[in-house]
Amino acid sequence: MRVLDKPLVVSGELAWLGGDRLERRVDKPTQETSTIAEGEVTQQREGKKPRSFSLKRAPQLKVLLDSFVALLAGDPSRLGDSFNVALGRDADRWQLTLTPRDASIAKQIATIHVYGQGNQPRCLRMDEGDGDTSIDLLGDLANAMPAAPTREGLIAQCGGAM
């Protein structure tokens, strides 16, 4: 995030619970669990009461939910409903670029990139409309977080731009 002096490193797990249900568990720097299910978002932070709100209040989360579920379920038509989809390949590396079709969503989420090698996704990168970027290292790559991560270094580690 542009307001931070250095990248915020968060570790945890993202799980697809089937259907339109996702759970994101953060272990570090603080413990937090966020669940999207049945049109509701529930956040539970360590030492605080759970907080819930309608997914309608956060259309960008609906787009993220749609993209994750479509990717994980292997549903290209659902992916195409919400995004313009572009696929780049270089040997056994690939990059899927998703650009929201809805202009109001695109102001918040400019693009989502999924980097992979072979048949495995390695990273998810979300470029926000305000210039902020979120990069998620997946699988074994998540264990290879550099001591001093940079945006450029993480993108290169993911497989780089194609």
d(CA 56, CA 66): 13
Phi, psi for 96 (deg, rounded to 5): -100, 125
* pLDDT in the model for residue 111: 93
Please check whether the domain covering 11-158 is classified as CATH 2.50.20: yes
- The amino acid at residue 149 is P
d(CA 138, CA 124): 8
d(CA 120, CA 33): 25
Closest of 79, 135, 88, 132 to residue 109, by C-alpha: 132
Task: Give the chain's largest Cα–Cα span.
Answer: 49
* pLDDT in the model for residue 42: 94
Q: What is the pLDDT of residues 30-73, one digit of tens each?
A: 899 999 998 999 999 988 999 999 998 888 788 888 888 888 88
The DSSP output letter for 76 is H
Tell me the Ramachandran region of residue 60: left when phi exceeds 0, alpha when psi lies from -120 to 50, beta otherwise: alpha
The burial class, CB within 10 Å (0-12 / 13-18 / 19+), for 30 is: exposed
pTM confidence score: 0.82
* pLDDT in the model for residue 148: 82
Q: What is the pLDDT of residues 100-146, one digit of tens each?
A: 998 988 898 899 999 988 888 889 898 988 888 888 888 888 887 87
